[in-house]
Amino acid sequence: LTNDIFGHAAGDMLLQKGAAILKKVCRADDIIARIGGDEFVILLPKTDFADCRSIMERIKGEFSKEQLKAIRGSISMGCAVKNQLEQDITRILQDAEDQMYLDKILHRRNNDQEQIQRIVETLHEKDPREKEHAERVSVICEKIGRLLGLPEREIALLQKACYLHDIGKIVQDESAPYKEAERQQHPVVGYRILNSFEDTMDLAECVLAHHERWDGSGYPKGLKGNEIPKLARIIALAECYDRLVNRREEDSASGEEKFFAEIRRQAGSRFDPEIVKVLLKKGTIFQETVARTGGS
């Protein structure tokens, strides 16, 4: 995950931090070996199962204190003990690996949810306007979804996608100016993040496509028409609404007039013309606009 979001240099740094933790917790006679990727084996001479579990818990505790950028440290572990000389060491290692995978499966959901939450919190701490924008766009998308008659399950998915649609901005350094090409990478990074977690995989394609345009001139893939996921098309409209209504120092009615004029003008180029047709027929998104604070 760290490699996918922040690059291999950050991934290497995380491995170094992990190795330092193992060295700190383990004893002088223990043997620590990296066997590939992010996997380590630790051989603990003259150690029974209870002591082995105790060492594992200390290692996990140290990892939980670490954070690299927005990634919280975590580790899955398993152990097995050789009690008899005739026991096959290869079998012991396999048993430990099996326990490690079981640990990963049992705790994956909680770890995934904590990791996503930490990334979002870090982004919103960097720029509180991102949090305000995400909350507003989520409300707007719900309203548009109901105007379109979407089923409740799809509306819930839409709201979740809206709240996370800019999660890829976590890699942007706010202290330094960045080029347009770099800014346009945030949907790709968002896709990588969401596609890494089981609970958010169904949001990844939508987040990837929320800057695509109906005529194919958007980014990052230049999708056209119905190639663009419907929920991404709705997010594009909600972002337009937020920009024209909630971030302007004017009354909501005037802002909505600008919004409807804009989507009428860009129907078939930027926006889905069928969705625009439904919204124009309704004539309003809100009776009152959502709170006008910040924006992104």
Distances (CA, A) of 236 to 1, 137, 233, 278, 295: 27, 10, 5, 15, 15
Under a CB-based contact definition with an 8 Å cutoff, are residues 20 and 68 in contact? Answer: no
* Range 26-56 burial, b when 16+ CB lie within 10 A, else e: beeeeeeeeeeeeebebebeebeeeebeebb
Instruction: Supply the pLDDT for residue 52.
Output: 95
- The reported pLDDT for the residue numbered 72 is 76
Instruction: Please list the residues that pair with 31 across neighbouring strands.
Output: 43
Structural domains present in the chain: 2-119 (3.30.70.270), 128-282 (1.10.3210.10)
Residue carrying the six token digits 């996997």: 39
Q: Are 88 and 25 a contacting pair, CB within 8 Å?
A: no
Query: Which two structure tokens, joined as six digits, stand for 282?
Result: 């309704």
221 CB-near residues (< 8 Å, 6+ apart): 208, 209, 212
* pTM of this prediction exceeds 0.85: no
In the structure, how many helices (H) and strands (E) does the chain have?
A: 12, 4
Per-residue pLDDT of the chain (296 residues; tens, 9 = 90+): 677 777 778 778 888 999 999 999 999 999 999 998 889 999 999 999 999 999 999 999 999 888 777 777 789 999 999 999 899 999 999 999 999 999 988 888 888 888 899 899 999 998 899 999 999 999 999 999 999 999 999 999 999 999 999 999 988 876 656 667 777 899 999 999 999 898 899 999 999 999 999 999 999 999 999 999 999 999 999 999 999 887 655 555 577 888 999 999 999 999 999 999 999 998 887 754 444 444 44
Q: How far is CA 196 from the centre of its chain?
A: 8
Contact (Cβ atoms closer than 8 angstroms) between residue 147 and residue 279: yes
Q: Return the H-helix or E-strand segment holding 31.
A: strand 31-36
